A and B are shown apart, each in its own frame.
Chain A
Amino acid sequence: MEKGIKIPDWLKSAGAPCSCCAIGRGKGFIEKNIEAIASFIKEVLLPEGFANKNGLLQAIDPRAKLLGVILLVIAAAMLKNIPALAGFVALAAVLAAFSKITASALLKRVWPVLFFTFVLVLPTAFNFITAGDPVTITSFSVNHHDLYISRQGLEGITVLLLRVAAMVSLVSLFMLTTNYPDVFRALQSFPIPKIFVAALSMTFRYIMVLIKIAEEGHLARKARTIKPSTVRESRGWLANRIWLIMERSLEMAEDVYLAMTARGFSGEVKTMTAFEMKGRDYAWIGFAIFVFLLSVQL
C-alpha cells in the first residue's frame, strides 16, 4: 500500500470519458440495458403490495377473479357505445377503490397504453381520415379544402380510448390484486394443458436467473469501459453475452430436468389446487356474467 499509486486525472473526474458505451448521441445500449433490467427486477421483486391488502378483489379466489375479469374484458371488447364504455371505466374505478388500489398505481399501468393510443389515433378526428359531419367551431379552409374535426372521428377516438382504458384497467386490477404465484395457479384451472402452465411458471422463475446473468455482464462491461467502443465491437460483445445466456439456459434446462427426474418427475405434471370457491366467489362470477350478458344485448 505505497503512496505510489497514480490515478490518472481523467479517471478522477466526475464526467467519465465514456457515457457508458454511448455511440453517437444519448445513452449507449449498455446503459439502456442496465436501466431496463433494473426496472424489470424492481417491478418483479418490489410489487406495490396491493395484493396483500384487505380489499374487495383480493378477497376473491384467483380462479374466480381471473374468470370474472376475462368475462368483463370480453364484455368491454364487445360494447359499441360511449355511455356503456364510460360505465365500464367507472366500474373499473369503483373496483379499484373497493380494492384499496390508489389511482396513481392504476394509472401507472394504464397511462402508457392510453397515451400511445391517443397520439396514434389523434389524426382520425379530422375529416381527411374520418369523413363526417363537421364540428363547426373547428372548421377552416386550406386551399379550398375544408379541414375540420368530424363528429364521427371524435366519437371514434372516444370509443377506442374508453375501450382501451376499460380493458387495460380491468386486466391491471387483476394483476395488482393477485400475487404472481396465484396468477399461475389461477391459470391451472383453465382449459390450458398443464404442461404449458407448469412451463409458464418455470419461465417466470428462470427469467430472473437469466436476467441476473445479463445484469452482471453489463455491469462488468460498464465498469471496465473507459472509451467509447465502435458499433462493431459493441455488437460482438452483445452477441457474446447473448450466446452465454443461451448456453447457460440450455445447460440449466438439462440440470433442472435431471433434478426433476431425481425427485420423481416422469413427465406428468401434478399440481396442488388448494383453492376453494366460496359464496363471494360465486357472487363475483355471477356479477361478471350478469354484466357480460347485459353487454351482449346492448
Chain B
Amino acid sequence: MTRPLLDVENLTISYRIGKRWIPAVRDFHLQLAPGHIVGLVGESGSGKSTVALALMRYLSSNGRVESGGRLAFAGEDLLSKSAAEMRSIWARRIKLAPQNAGAALNPSMKIGAQVTEVLGAALGIGGAEAERAVLGMFHDVNLVDPEKVADRYPHELSGGMQQRVVIAMALITNPELLILDEPTTGLDVTTEAVILDLIRGLMAERDTGVIYITHNLGVVAQLCERVLVLYAGEIMEEAPVDQLYATPRHPYSLGLLNSVPRLGQSKADSRLHSISGNPPALTQLSAGCVFADRCEFVIDKCRSAKPPLEQLGDGRAARCFRWEAVAVYPHPKSNAPSVPRPTGDASHKEGGTLSTQDDAHSLDTLPFPPSGGRGRGMGGKCQASQTSARLMRVTDLKKHFPVAKSLEDWLRGRTPAPIRAVDGVNLTLGAGQTLGLVGESGSGKTTLSRVIIGLQERSGGQLELLGMDIRNSVRERSPDVLSKLQMVFQNPQNSLNPYLSVRQALRRPLVKLRGMTPAQAEAEVSELLRRVNLREDYADRFPDELSGGEKQRVVIARAFASDPDLIICDEPVSALDVSVQSAVLNLLARLQEEHGTAYLFISHDLAVVGYLSDVIAVMYLGQLFEIGAASDLFQPPYHPYTEALVSAIPVADPEHKAERMLLHDVLPSAQRLPSGCRFHTRCPRKIGALCEEEAPPWREVDAGHAIRCHIPLEELSALQGSFLRPEEIG
C-alpha cells in the first residue's frame, strides 16, 4: 500500500437533538490509498451518508465531529482546517457525487455552463480552454455527442445521463478523493451497469481514491476492493470484498448476504433468510452490542458488553464476540451455488411449518402456451387455450395517452401521435400463480397494472377476470369485482393515510367489501394482523409509529382483507431495506400458499421477481417480448432484451465477473416508437434491415416459453450459450 490518501481513526460524529448530542457514528476508521475503491455498505439510518459528509467536513450545523479522532487527507489534518481552506479542498481535491443527480444540477442553467463554472471556480480556467476540457470530460464519461449535451438543460437528459454529468462534474478538477453516495440507486439495472463500468474504468485511469456508498450488495461485489459494513453507526465488519462474500464473520453481514434472493432462487425452493426486528434508535443504545436484539448468535455477554472491532488477520476485522461461530455457519457461497431445485426437499428457515407444495406450479397450468402461427403484426396475438384454472385474461390491452395539441398542430390541423404506454398486451394468469412483469422504467409495466386495477381507463382491448368481462374504471366496477382485485403499492410511506390508525385502515375494506358488521370486523382485524406477523396491539398504532417494513405489512394485510383473487404488487419491496425486504417477500409467498391468491408482481429487480414468480413476462415499450416459466426465463435462449437485463444485474458475488451486454442508448419515446421490432434501436444482436422493417414473430421455445425475435431460436441458443454458466443459474 502506498501512502494513504485518507486515514481516519476513531471518528465519532454526533447530531444535536433538542439539547443533547447523540453520537450517530461511533469509532469509525478507514484507510484508503490512491486509485482504490472502498465500499461503505449499510441500510438506511446506518450512518453511511453521515460518514461521507463528515469526511468532507460538510456536516450541517447540528452535526459535529467529536474531538479525539483523526481525519487525515493526504497527510493533512482536516479537522484543524479553517472554513476557507476547506472550501479550496472542496473545490478541487475532494468531490462528492450525490445520490439524486437530478436535484444536484441547476435546472435553469445549461449543462455545459454548469460544468464550466466548476472549472472556473476551482482552477481559474475559463473560455475556450474550459469548454474544451468539459467536452473532453463528457467524452470520457461516455456521453454521446458532448456538444449537444452541453447545450441542454438538465431536464432534457435522462437519469443515467444526468448521473454521468454529475460524475463528470466531480472528476473534472481531477480530485484525489471521490465520494459516490448511492450514485445508481433509482436507475435501471441497464443504466446502472453502464455507470458502474464507467466508474471502474475512470478509477483505473486517474488514480483517484473512491468511497462508494450503497445499500446494494451486488454493486459492491462488482465494483469495490474492500468493504466496510455499517450498522447503527458502527463498523460491524471490514474485509476485502471477495473474503466478505466468501466467509462473512459477522452475523449482520451474514444475514444481509443471505437475505438477498439470488437469480434463479424460487419460493418453491426455500424461504429467504431474514433479519427480524428493527434497527435500534440512536437515542436509546444499550451498553451491549448494537446488533444484539436482532442477532441469531446472541449470547448473554452480547447484551452487557460491547464487542471490540477485533482484527482477524488478512486485513479483516469484525465487531463480534462470536465471529468464530459465524465462520462455520452455512451461507450462500458455502453451500451454493447450486440450490436444490426440486420442490420436494425445500428447507424452510421461516417457521418451518409451511408446506411448499403448490399444485399450480407445474408447467402444464401455465397461462400462456403460444400457438406458433398466429404471432404476427403489432398486436402479436398469443392465444391461450387454457381454461381450467384461468383467473385473468388480458387481450390486446392498450393504453394510449393523448398528447395535447400545440399551437402549430392547431394551425396545421393535425393531431399529435399519442403516447402508446401499453400497446397490445396479451396475458393469462392462472389462479394462485404469480406473474412477474419486468422491464426498464418507461416500459409500461406500471401503466399496465394501473389499467388492470382500474385506476386508469384502457384505450382498447379486453380484460376478463374469472370469466367476467371487467369494466374500465374502478367507478364502474361492482363491489364483487372490486373485492377480487387489490393492490400493494411501492411506497409504504404513502400507502397508509397518516391520520387513520391501523385498525381504521383494516376495518374499512372488511366492512365495505366483505359486508361485515363492526364486531366481526373487529375480530378480523386481529386475525389479519396475526397473519402478517404483527402483534394485535399494532391495531391502535398510527402509520408514523411504524417502520417501513411494518407499514408494508399493514398494506399487505389491507390488500388481503377483502379476500381477493388477484393482488397487484407494484415494486412492493423496492423502498425497503435489504434485511426487511426478504421478510416481506417471505410473507407474500406464505400468504399466497395459504390463500391461493394470484399476484401480478412488478419489479425492476429480476432476482426478486424470479423468486416470487411462476411465470415472467418481459416488457419493452408497451409490448411483451418474452414470456415463460420463471425457471426457464433466465437461461438461454432468451430474447436479446432479457439477455441485457439479466447480464446487467450486479450479482452479489465478487467472483462472478461475467461479460456484460450493455445497452447504451436511451429508451426511445413511446410517442415515436421505432418501426419493425421496437427493440432494434438498442439491440446488440440486431441482424439487419429485417429488424427495422418487420415486427418480429413469437417463437415458441417450449410449452409456455416464447420469445418475440427475428433470430431463430437455435441461433439465439448458440449465441448465448456461453453467457451464464449453468451452476450460477442454480
- Is chain B a partner of chain A in the same complex? no
- B interface residues with partner A (beta carbon < 8 Å): none
- A interface residues with partner B (beta carbon < 8 Å): none
